[in-house]
Structure 1
Amino acid sequence: MGIVKNIIEIANYLINKTGFSCQIVLMLTIMAVAGKAIAEQTVAPNQVIPVDHIVAVVNEEIITRNELNDVIQNTTRQLQKQRVQLPPSDALEKQLLERLILTRIQLQRAKELGISVSDTELDKTIRNIAKENNLSMGEFYAALQQDGIGLSQFRDEIHNEIIVTRLKEREVSSRINVTEGEIDNFLRTQETSSIGNDEYHVAHILVQILEQMDATQVEAKHQRAEAALRKLQEGVEFAQVSAEFSDAPNAMQGGDLGWRPIMQMGPTFAEMLVTMQPGEVTPLIQSPVGFHILKLLGRRPQETPVVIINQTHARHILIKISELISEDDAHRMILQIKDRIDKGANFAETAKAYSEDASASSEGDLGWLSPGDTVREFEQAMDALLPGQISTPVRTQFGWHLIQVIERRSQDVSEQQQRQTARKAIHARKAEMVMQEWLQQLRDQVYVEYRSEDTQR
């Protein structure tokens, strides 16, 4: 298992957990294996070690020539493993420096907001990554070592990746609102549209334009996009052109957006894609964020499934742990309540009198619960009960619970599933626009200085 495969799978894993679309995949490659080249170097006794230089300053933090060289070397390896012809060295260096700067800006912003990752969360994420790759932890560490990556370095990379992901969840998701009316319109359009609901595998090149650009600057971007399109028409590989020209975060991954429902692509893209055959490339498409080129890599049918799930109607009693009520006190209280119910007290009335959850006013009634609606410990205890049964005390992050199952049913939630799918598609479509705007605003608020190495010698 090569490091490139690891990186892509890690990025995809984090995308799936956050719900962001593939177009805004975090540029893990830029942070990945930074320092690998240094770790691989063995210094001979008489070897001359080059003096490092500052290539950029981001606020008060520096980016050095060695840092940039590490990223260039690792990205070059990645592209070579993908059998992608390398873009001109100056173009590659410029692209990668900009991405290093953008990553540094995001980490600084996350620090300002107090976004952090605990060691427990980090360990869990790494275990999940190994599991996604069907590897034991020992096998996973061995694979990292084979690729020349130390565990400490890898943990730092994943730590930063989670931080940036959480930053985007906080800063971007908070700006996106999907209304019930938008979902209704989406579903109506889907029913009447000739576009269908198939999934499309698409690669994407973006030449970005910014709101503050004047007409001359926009035209220069247009010419750059035209140059990219000409290269594609001349037979140059899409991944190579993406690496050289694209401003999208996944430019070094060939611009691959992965599989996505056609309705998630937006009407302009969708109308073009449905008329194309795999391997074909669109003409230039202009949007408010820039000039786009799409390549259709594949198409597959996507049927609307019938979704039947088992639901549980339950009620509960919660005793919270706080500064005033210790763990032992809360446990003792829930045992006393359990004893009272075992001796004949009505669960609903007891919940109304003693529960510290908001559901107390409804006699502890939680309504119909679907899988995943509650935390894992609660759900596991609830699933083990028969209708009418009451659990032993259950500890969760919220405190100590008693759970009573009232009844169970199988429920067709196909309509709810369709609406949830529509909500995700609308959110992803909006997120791509909001993400570009947010990144540019972030970039504009930060002091960035490019240093000429000639002046440092």
Structure 2
Amino acid sequence: MKNSFKLLTLASSLFFGAALNLQAEEVPLDRIAAVANTGVVLESEIQDLIQSIKQQAKNNNQELPSDNALRVQVMDKLINDSLILQIGERMGVQVSDAQLDETLTNMARDNGLSLEQFRENIIADGLEYEQYRESVRTELISGEVRRASVHRRVYISPQEVGNLLKMMKEQTTNEVEYQLGHILIAFPADPSQEDINAAKTRADKVIELLNNGSDFARIAIASSSDSNALEGGDLGWKTINEMPTLFSEIIDGEAKGTVLGPIRTGLGFSIVKVKDIRGKEVVEVEEVKSRHILIEPSVILSEAKAEEILQGFLDQLNAGEADFAELAKEHSDGPTSVKGGELGWADPGSYDPAFKDALARLDINEYHKPFRSSFGWHLVQLTGRRTLDATEKMNENRAYQMLYNRKFGMESARWIKETRDQAHIEVFDLEEK
């Protein structure tokens, strides 16, 4: 709607200018580059993102593929964003200005900057701060929609956790981590044998280029259909147990720089590079104890009203006029209400990212102002924090999280492919005649 209004305004201005025969400087009309269901991708949005990527590549001394290849990847991302935002609108997912400002403040803090310094750095990179701000809002909404949509597709059985725990116990203590790069040569929807053969030919060509010294990140940006293509295909650091099974079976024991594949999956052919190897870092494990009140927005309960209700509870608690447990029992949605909202001791990494981040900012017994996660609106109090050595329970939680992350990544890729396959997508040729 916002983009459509922008186009309508520009078109109206040009029309009335011509009708009055005004002598004015010609203003180029922003054009629709693609349609994705009820959403549109504007040419200006493509150029803004391309500019941002080029600036980031320049800062990192990273080579980029041709402008045409980069445009294809940017177009795909913006189409995906449009489809996901439409799903988010139907789900009622919103990110308020206050939530957005809080996220930007946290991003600035993580970089050792004030919000104003962070803003100045964005502008110094040649980017419009308001556009950058809205892109962060889009990423937040997309993340919530993706988590909520994919979470229900992930099932992990107790037997799977038990099998992984057994495998972890049998491994040596000198467990290593691999930094991986990934390129996906995707199949189209309902691929024919000819489509599969063509994808295999492309994958073989990519491997040939990589083995001849071509830059992996540049090839990933140009050729990969994976969601991390614009990040150069980087999958980050993973142990064998944290990788998809198809990868772990061939990567274990391989040397740095090894290119593996093509590996056929349900989505296409994968090509994996072992970018680096290191000994597994030993990290102290922290657990948190907390309790919360959850309000789930609905057709009859708006986002704003849910936030307002929790803010009212917070005001009562700060004034000593209410008891947290009683409020939770009476008003909280979800299974913890009967326990007064108590969540017990848990690894914060097992929580929704918004919930995890909120707990990280709290001192013991401090309340966090109402915030939204993919489950709804929360009022949370941190009641304890402790550091643990490895325990059976911690290993069980770690095994579950490994399995969840592995399955989430695969299901997320399937989900976005299914979303695109079911959508009406039309890309327009904007070349000048």
Superposed pair shares fold, TM > 0.5: yes
Q: Compared with structure 1, are the counterparts of its residues 421 and 327 closer, same or farther at alpha carbon in structure 2 (3 Å cutoff)?
A: closer
Contact 1:201/1:258, CA 8 A, preserved across alignment: yes
SS for the counterpart of 2:261 is coil
Structure exhibiting the larger radius of gyration computed from Cα positions: 1
**Please, which moves more after superposition, 192-201 or 441-450?**
192-201
| Percent of matched pairs sharing the same residue | 26
Q: Does 1:278 align with 2:239?
A: no
State the alpha-carbon separation in 2 of the partners of residues 195 and 293 from structure 1.
Answer: 29
Q: Which runs of 5+ in 1 are unaligned?
A: 1-44, 315-320, 338-350, 384-393
Contact 1:195/1:271, CA 8 A, preserved across alignment: no
Q: Compared with structure 1, are the counterparts of its residues 210 and 417 closer, same or farther at alpha carbon in structure 2 (3 Å cutoff)?
A: farther
Q: How many pairs align?
A: 377
Q: Deviations over 1:206-232 (max 9, x none)?
A: 111255111111111111111111111
State the alpha-carbon separation in 1 of the partners of residues 47 and 114 from structure 2.
Answer: 33
Q: Does 1:294 align with 2:268?
A: no
Q: Deviations over 1:84-108 (max 9, x none)?
A: 4432333332222222211111111
Task: Indicate the residue corresponding to 2:41 in structure 1.
Answer: 63
Match of 1:435 among 389, 402, 412: 412
State the alpha-carbon separation in 2 of the partners of residues 259 and 74 from structure 1.
Answer: 25
Q: Compared with structure 1, are the counterparts of its residues 215 and 243 closer, same or farther at alpha carbon in structure 2 (3 Å cutoff)?
A: same
Match of 2:398 among 411, 418, 421: 421
Q: Deviations over 1:67-98 (max 9, x none)?
A: 32333333334344444443233333222222
State the alpha-carbon separation in 1 of the partners of residues 337 and 254 from structure 2.
Answer: 57
Q: Deviations over 1:260-294 (max 9, x none)?
A: 22211133322332332212211322222221111
SS for the counterpart of 1:282 is strand
Task: Indicate the residue corresponding to 1:241 in structure 2.
Answer: 219
Letter paired with 1:448: I
Task: Indicate the residue corresponding to 1:128 in structure 2.
Answer: 106
State the alpha-carbon separation in 2 of the partners of residues 155 and 411 from structure 1.
Answer: 38
1:274-353 aligned within 5 A: 274-302=252-280
State the alpha-carbon separation in 2 of the partners of residues 232 and 85 from structure 1.
Answer: 14
SS for the counterpart of 2:214 is coil
Q: Does 1:153 align with 2:131?
A: yes
State the alpha-carbon separation in 1 of the partners of residues 103 and 145 from structure 2.
Answer: 17
Q: Compared with structure 1, are the counterparts of its residues 334 and 196 closer, same or farther at alpha carbon in structure 2 (3 Å cutoff)?
A: same
State the alpha-carbon separation in 1 of the partners of residues 151 and 378 from structure 2.
Answer: 29
Q: Does 1:265 align with 2:243?
A: yes
SS for the counterpart of 1:283 is strand
Provide the alpha-carbon RMSD of the alignment: 4.5
Task: Indicate the residue corresponding to 1:167 in structure 2.
Answer: 145
Contact 1:242/1:254, CA 8 A, preserved across alignment: yes
Contact 1:283/1:293, CA 8 A, preserved across alignment: yes
1:40-51 aligned within 5 A: 50-51=28-29
State the alpha-carbon separation in 1 of the partners of residues 80 and 66 from structure 2.
Answer: 22
Contact 1:57/1:450, CA 8 A, preserved across alignment: yes
